Amino acid sequence: MRLHLIELILFSTYAELRAERARSYLGLLWWIIEPAMNMAVYYLVFAIVLRTSQPDYIPFLLVGLTLWQWFKSCVSHGGYAIWQGLPLIRQVKVPVQVFPSVQILADTVKFLFILALLLVILWGYGYPPNRAYLALPVVLLVELVFAAGAAYVVAAVMPFVPDLRFVIEQVLTVMMFLSGIVFSLDAVPDAARPWFALNPVAVLVDAGRGILMHGLWPDWLALGRIALISLALYAFGALLIRRWTTRYVKLPT
Amino acid sequence: MSALVTLESVGVAFNAQLRAAAARFWALENVNLTLARGARLGIVGRNGAGKSTLLRTLAGIIEPDRGRITRAPVSCQLLSLAVGFIPHLSGRDNAILSGLLLGLRRREIERRLPAILEFSELGDFFEQPISTYSTGMTARLGFSVAMQVEPEILLIDEIMSVGDTEFQAKSGAALRERIHSGTTVVFVSHSDAAVREICDHALWIEHGCSVMQGGVDEVLRAYHAAAPAAQ
């Protein structure tokens, strides 16, 4: 049963990626072009128009956006997944958590390509690999758990309240600005800092930049706290889906 | 004969609307049913009586909101065509995906791919994306995959005739062979002739309630006698 579920998730992910490639003229190239265009837009606005006077702004932005876009696509694609899977849920007996899991996995595969490219670019930019890279898998794993948890929660609720899709993009945009992706959070008042330290994305991006740009080991205490928050969110999301799993099929078409 | 599935006063409610306080609509109110091993049960009833809901409840797609359903540990599947097909994938990939969704293991499907290819008569098109297929070709692939799933209880919603005339005869024959191979079957149909041909007993449901379970002729006679009264 469990093995069958894994096979189903893996093959569906392959099918998803393959179909996505076939749907466009440039196919796989979009995996790279789309995030690159996104980065160019932020570079244009913040570095050229607003003249952000921050040292190392380009690598700062690249690392931040790479980690952010992975999180964002997991939440938005995964969040829609059960809602979009309703026709199939009415047709066959299929475990509902498959739908968000497939999206998260597909977005993670794409992210790994972009990450590899990012590492090459950083090297070319004068930030060679360093010993702290050993901590990178830990940071990425925590981010994956957090993104999956957030995606599960949104996915579980969306079929009951499809209106959520009008809200989710806005919430994600606000979250991006509160996570110090495109500009540094140094200006945040001291009083507000403990709150920002609870934002997993901000902490993870900060850790990522430390590793990739400065060869610094992550703040393990902060990372541990975020890991706990992420695991709790993941468990909560999985619980919601499990709890409501028999109700999706009874929703109106 | 031992009962494979028993339904006792089973009811299924759907949400009528996406509103917090929306009323629920009982598609099944009170259904009693006993399915014995090897039985071929026909379900008759008017449009909206709850026949398809009952079939999906038997398949485990829908959980009852009241009553009790007891199942022996056997596989029970609705015969469904082209489940989860993705237009941009090849016939082969779609066959694997659909098979996985229907509960087969990956290696079971891989082993059956030659049979699927042969039965569907797709030839070289098997490796092409199904967006290039005609309606008939997609239906042939869908049927060929569906026939590879061999549940102990086969649930059928109307006899399906797919593809061109030739394939209709072939798929109809394959389905009849499966039905008469000793499999337990639950069959929903509007056609008396089909129910008489396939089933050894029948269940009549009306407004989500089981009215009568018994011999095919007996149930059909009572069902038609009640028709004017019900309208």
| CB-count exposure of residue B218 (10 Å: 0-12, 13-18, 19+) | middle
Does any domain span residue A13?
A: no
Tell me whether residues A11 and B96 touch, CB distance under 8 A: yes
Residues of chain B with CATH 3.40.50.300: 3-77+185-230, 78-184
Q: What is the pLDDT of residue B231?
A: 43
pLDDT tens string A55-65: 788 899 999 99
Q: What is the pLDDT of residue B143?
A: 92
Share of chain B above pLDDT 90, in %: 60
Interface residue A164 vs chain B (CB under 8 A) = no
Interface residue A129 vs chain B (CB under 8 A) = no
Measured between beta carbons, the chain A residues lying within 8 angstroms of B106 are 7, 11
H and E: helices and strands count for chain B: 7, 9
Which among B18, B97, B105 has CB closest to A4? B105
Which among B16, B17, B83 has CB closest to A92? B83
Task: List the single residue in A with minimal CA-CA distance to B14.
Answer: A250
For residue A153, what are the domain limits? 29-250
A-to-B residue pairs, Cβ atoms closer than 8 angstroms = 74
Tell me whether residues B63 and A94 touch, CB distance under 8 A: no
Which among A92, A160, A251 has CB closest to B61? A92
Q: What is the pLDDT of residue B43?
A: 94
Measured between beta carbons, the chain A residues lying within 8 angstroms of B59 are 93
Does any domain span residue A7?
A: no
Which among A8, A93, A161 has CB closest to B61? A93
Joined tokens for residue A79: 């969040």
Are A126 and A210 spatial neighbours (Cβ–Cβ below 8 Å)? no
Distance from CA of A4 to the nearest CA of B (A): 6
Q: Name the helix (H) or strand (E) containing B9.
A: strand B3-15
pLDDT tens string A73-112: 999 999 999 999 999 999 999 999 999 999 999 999 999 9
Q: Under the phi-then-psi rule, with left for phi > 0, alpha for psi from -120 to 50, and beta for the rest, what region is B187?
A: beta
Tell me whether residues B100 and A23 touch, CB distance under 8 A: no
Tell me whether residues B103 and A22 touch, CB distance under 8 A: no
Measured between beta carbons, the chain A residues lying within 8 angstroms of B80 are 91-92
Q: What is the pLDDT of residue A35?
A: 81
Cα(A192)–Cα(A232) distance, rounded to whole angstroms?
Answer: 23
Q: Identify from A9, A93, A98, A157 which residue to disrupt to test chain B contact, counting B C-beta atoms within 10 A and taking the largest count.
A: A93
Helix (H, G, I), strand (E, B) or coil at A146: helix
Joined tokens for residue A89: 């849920």
Does any domain span residue A71?
A: yes
A39: Cβ contacts below 8 Å, ≥ 6 apart: A61, A62, A65
Which among B15, B63, B78 has CB closest to A251? B15
Tell me whether residues A11 and B84 touch, CB distance under 8 A: no
Average pLDDT over residues A219-234: 95
Does any domain span residue A4?
A: no
Whether residue A30 is predicted with pLDDT greater than 50 in this model: the reply is: yes
Cα(B69)–Cα(B93) distance, rounded to whole angstroms?
Answer: 36
* Mean confidence (pLDDT) of chain A: 91
pLDDT tens string A168-221: 999 999 999 888 888 777 777 888 777 877 889 999 999 999 999 999 999 999
Does any domain span residue A22?
A: no
A63: Cβ contacts below 8 Å, ≥ 6 apart: A118, A122, A205, A208, A209, A212, A213
Cβ burial B22-53 (10 Å sphere, 16+ → b, else e): eeeebbbbbbebbbbbebbbbbbbbeebbbeb
Q: Output the pTM of the full model.
A: 0.91
pLDDT string in tens for chain B (231-residue length): 578 999 999 999 998 777 777 788 899 999 999 999 999 999 999 888 899 999 999 999 999 999 999 988 888 888 888 889 999 999 999 999 999 999 899 999 999 999 999 999 999 999 999 999 998 899 999 999 999 888 899 999 876 667 778 888 888 889 888 888 889 999 998 888 889 988 999 999 999 999 999 999 999 999 988 865 544
Does any domain span residue A12?
A: no
Cα(A135)–Cα(B75) distance, rounded to whole angstroms?
Answer: 47
Does any domain span residue A14?
A: no
Scanning B202-221 for CB atoms below 8 A from A yields none
Which among B14, B84, B97 has CB closest to A250? B14
Measured between beta carbons, the chain B residues lying within 8 angstroms of A93 are 59-61, 103
The structural domain count of chain A equals: 1
Domain B78-184, what fold?
Rossmann fold (3.40.50)
What's the complex ipTM?
A: 0.88
Tell me whether residues A12 and B100 touch, CB distance under 8 A: yes
Cα(B154)–Cα(B102) distance, rounded to whole angstroms?
Answer: 12
CATH code linked to domain B3-77+185-230? 3.40.50.300
